[in-house]
Amino acid sequence: MQWFADGDRNTKFFHTYVNGKRRRLKSQRIQDDRGVWLDSEEDIAQEAIRFYTDQIISILVLRC
């Protein structure tokens, strides 16, 4: 198995492996709370900010 031979060394194999994994794990699209599918990177980023902002605000409100 090549991973054991090259492992975490700074090799072409390592970078190809990591970049492939990054592409597979990237969210291609998400669904917002209204059920609308978002697929542009900008829309996904804005929805993530909105979602986590709402989560933080709800936690802070519960603590008061």
Average pLDDT by stretches of 10, the chain with 64 residues: 61 84 84 95 94 94 80
Q: How far is CA 3 from CA 7, 13, 18, 50, 63, in A?
A: 5, 8, 11, 39, 48
For residue 53, what pLDDT is reported?
Answer: 97
Sole residue written with tokens 């700074």: 10
| pTM value surpassing 0.85 | no
pLDDT at position 21 is 86
Question: What pLDDT is attached to residue 63?
Answer: 80
pLDDT score for 34: 95
